[in-house]
Structure 1
Amino acid sequence: MSLKERDKKHLWHPLKQHQIQPESIAIIKAKGCILTDEDGNDYIDAISSWYTCMFGHCNDYIIEKTYRQMQQLDQVMFSDFTHEPAVKLSEELIKILPQGQNKIFFNDNGSTAVEAGIKMALQYYFNKGEKRSMFIAFENGFHGDTFGAMSVSGLSVYNGPFEEFLIDVKRIPTPDGTNHQEILNQLQSFTSKYDIAGFIYEPIVQGAAGMKIHDANGLNEILKFCRANNILTIADEVMTGFGKTGKNFASDYIDTKPDIICLSKALTAGLLPMAITSCTQDIYDAFLSDEMAKGFFHCHTYSGNPIACATALAAIELLQSNEIQNNIKEIIRSQQEFNERIKAHPKVKSTRQIGVIFALDLNTKMERYGDLRDKLLKFFMDRGVFLRPLGNTIYIQVPYIISKKELQKVYCVIEEALTLV
């Protein structure tokens, strides 16, 4: 019996309507940019498996570093112990994180990184004797699937059944270069009516919304307003972090830095699950007290796992290498050339790019999870490229180690699809 057949007996896949969508493809190995299925078919992973495997699958350098750590220390509870990989990772991360970040808190995944950030903001004011319970977030943002993260997300396709159970959030549009004064007026209205704890945002790029890029100057004005009004700012860099925007973090494009940053995905290069919520010294100090109840009682069993920390350290080393930095520049240049080829295509409504993130909107209406979108996904897979459309948005976020030949194949398959849409 094939893996696909065995899969259907017991497994429930995420983001999938099993009644009507195609069965899952069984992948048996991966190396570099290539996924191989049980029938021997190869696929270029053009989205780095949800933006995680940015250094390619089964990267030899990362595997070696991880293997060494597995032989030394596998797991120890982080509430009572510490260890070299966690300490070293905190030191190396603080060096490259946006200015002002000084404390590292470990989580399991992107959603729980956001969850911890939300709880930090709420308890920050609670510990200071202030009752603040409302958040501000962008329209169409996505921050995860746990309840706090879901509350501040604006895509109802994900959280529609749970909306009556979520925390209070007021939403604002993303800045587009012309509307930031309107947004500031809206924020002024909110602050006059509500006790606002924090503003959470995806800096520069809204990933799940279709790689929508917004104006850095406008975002900076929003962050300046929040700082002036004592509203904590939480940058969700789960998708944007670790070089994808052309800088280490998307917040590096913005003068006003966040109070809290959420990290995951490429943090461990797709090899192991781990996440981090970092914060300023001021946030951390608000939890210091002779009262135990003012501590941050939020914990995950695998927090600070030594093996995951060693993996993250290896990924940071690679990110800062001349080879990877040069590769990133080459991918950016290549995508700019591709953009010039297709931006005027009659089937293309719009294009956008920042760093290695490239997206185009098809000049046709498509449901986010619908029949036409599934046909387009199958079209790509049949031609050996894994691209996962977000409605009518086709986006590319390739591993930093992709070859020129592989990258050109990705472009050619997209251009072929444009003739058939």
Structure 2
Amino acid sequence: MIPDSSKLHTPDSKLNLTERDQKVIWHPYTQMKNALPHIPIVRGEGVYVFNEDGKRYIDAVSSWWVNIHGHSHPYIAQKVAEQLSVLEHVIFAGFTHEPAVLLAERLLPILPGKQDKVFYTDNGSTAVEVALKMCLQYWDNKGTPKTKILAFKNAYHGDTFGAMSVSGRSIFTDAFNSLLFDVEFIDLPNENNISHLISHISNLKDTACFIFEPLILGSGGMLMYEAKYLDQLLSACKEAAILTIADEVMTGFGRTGTYFACEKLTNKPDIICLSKGLTGGTMPLGVTTCTNEIFEAFLSDDKLKTLYHGHSFTANPIACVASLASLDILLKSETLQNIKRVEAKHAVFLEEIKMHPKVKAIRQTGTIIAIEWETGNETSYLSNLRNLLYAYFLDKGIILRPLGNIIYILPPYVISDEDLDYIYAAIKSALEEV
């Protein structure tokens, strides 16, 4: 049926973009009743985004951690444009295409350990869902079903139900807790508890897998821990026949100073989840990689041993091409130099403010630095300080999105020293004024 043209929506020319947004959009992680008007962004270039009035903002959080090379990167844009006129999409069940095959061929050799197969999905949450299903069905296919899962307290692995289940219970999961499957949560390892954690893992029964964010728990507050202790946990898991899943959705593609956080480990994971920086922040794509040992457990004449999972846009050719272009840029020597430069700048800034009385804690791993504000007993994600700091930095043309009383800088690697210094100066001012 052809719709009545008189009922087709025509934008109200009297309203600006923010006003039009308020009439039709429901934004993520937002209490819409009292939300501030959303800032209309019309253009991006490098580390900057620009609003309708031409005001420039430094994107100091890489637009939710995805943009690693800067906005509207001309090389990625060129490759995407070329692919659009060749093949925009094709069903990935029964068919394949060059961008998907080439991306897997290029990605697998640079991943930590011996990753052999790529399973494509749409985003970080779905990459985690696939990883969990791989592990649970692996044991079922082997004839030794295991149903328990191990994860860190305060973890965050996504907002789909499986990903929520293996995430720490919080305001993000509160409305759904009764519907989530049981998971055993353990503390982050340190010198005081590592022996206990190893002993505990050694005694676990029927545990299918251990999922972890390597070195940094992002949404949990940019909580950081040492690679040597994670290494010991992975060793204990291997001894206990527990599969391991590295959620490198945020840490992958250079964030921790190496291309992947798990490069800093001796023991490598069985499965790796990737997204965010995979496409350089241009569009959604998720990847779950695994070893041949896991893959081969699904090879059978018994069709019930098939991994029955898929998405309409699995291995979208345009997203794969964007990822290939992003890899080209990531693997250039100048990109690694930028990563090391940002890392070094953060380290200097850390030393400058770590003794400030309002700095409760400060921590850094690679290009990520997090400052925990002293707020007395109020440390909730819902702390009012969050809104004050968010508005303070926006006024100065900086996008910093605090996690409660924790602010963090996680910029595109192309950010200049001048822009970093401007952000540091703004944080110093906020420590005195907010």
Same fold (TM over 0.5): yes
> Aligned equivalents of 2:411 and 2:43: distance in 1?
18
> Aligned equivalents of 2:180 and 2:202: distance in 1?
24
Residue 215 of structure 1, CA deviation: 1.8
Secondary structure at 1:158 match in 2: coil
RMSD: 1.1
Q: How does 1:239-318 map to 2 (within 5 A)?
A: 239-318=250-329
Number of residue pairs matched by the alignment: 418
Q: 1:187 aligns with which of 190, 201, 204?
A: 201
Aligned: 1:419 with 2:432? yes
Conserved 8 A contact 1:366-1:373: no
Residue 59 of structure 1, CA deviation: 0.5
> Aligned equivalents of 1:362 and 1:372: distance in 2?
9
Residue of structure 2 equivalent to 1:374: 387
Q: How does 1:138-217 map to 2 (within 5 A)?
A: 138-189=152-203, 191=204, 194-217=205-228
Residues 15-40 of structure 1 show CA distances to partners (whole Å, capped at 9, x for unaligned) of 01112332211111111011111222
Aligned: 1:109 with 2:123? yes
Residue 177 of structure 1, CA deviation: 2.8
Aligned AA for 2:238?
R
Aligned AA for 1:419?
E
Aligned AA for 1:279?
C
Q: How does 1:1-150 map to 2 (within 5 A)?
A: 1-150=15-164
Conserved 8 A contact 1:177-1:217: no
Structure 1 stretch 12-21 or stretch 179-188: which is displaced more?
Answer: 179-188
Residue of structure 2 equivalent to 1:391: 404
Conserved 8 A contact 2:109-2:115: no
Conserved 8 A contact 1:54-1:270: yes
In structure 2, do the counterparts of structure 1 residues 325 and 310 end up closer, same or farther at CA, with 3 Å as the change threshold? same
Conserved 8 A contact 2:165-2:180: yes
Residue 155 of structure 1, CA deviation: 3.9
> Aligned equivalents of 2:113 and 2:357: distance in 1?
44
Secondary structure at 1:101 match in 2: coil
Residue of structure 1 equivalent to 2:418: 405
Q: TM-score, normalised by structure 2?
A: 0.95
Conserved 8 A contact 1:47-1:388: yes
> Aligned equivalents of 1:316 and 1:363: distance in 2?
39
Unaligned runs of 5+ in 2: 1-14
> Aligned equivalents of 2:225 and 2:76: distance in 1?
33
Secondary structure at 2:220 match in 1: coil
Aligned AA for 1:252?
E
> Aligned equivalents of 1:393 and 1:149: distance in 2?
23
> Aligned equivalents of 1:176 and 1:393: distance in 2?
21
Aligned AA for 1:81?
F
Conserved 8 A contact 1:117-1:277: yes
Task: State the identity as a percent.
Answer: 46
Residue 402 of structure 1, CA deviation: 0.8
> Aligned equivalents of 1:391 and 1:97: distance in 2?
33
Aligned AA for 1:88?
L
Aligned AA for 2:430?
A
